[in-house]
Structure 1
Amino acid sequence: MNSILIKPHHFIDIIKLYGSGIDRFVPDEKMGHDFYKVANEIIDNPSVDLKLTIDGDDICKPCKKYHEQCIDPLTHIQGYTSKDVYNKTLDKRIIKLYNLNDEYYTAKQLCSIIQNNKEYIFEVWDEEDNEVTQKRYELFLQGAHKFLDNI
Structure 2
Amino acid sequence: MRSARLAQLVLSLILILAVFAVFAHTELGWAVPKTVRLQEAEMSLLRLDLQDGFQQDTVVIQVNGKEVFRRSQVETRLQLGYADSVEVNVPEGLTKIEIAVPSRKLSDSLKLQIAAPTHLGISLTSKGKIDYRTTSEPFTYE
Q: TM-score scaled by structure 1?
A: 0.23
**Larger relative contact order (C-alpha < 8 A, sep ≥ 6)?**
1
For the pair shown, which has the larger CA radius of gyration, 1 or 2? 2
Q: TM-score by structure 2 length?
A: 0.24
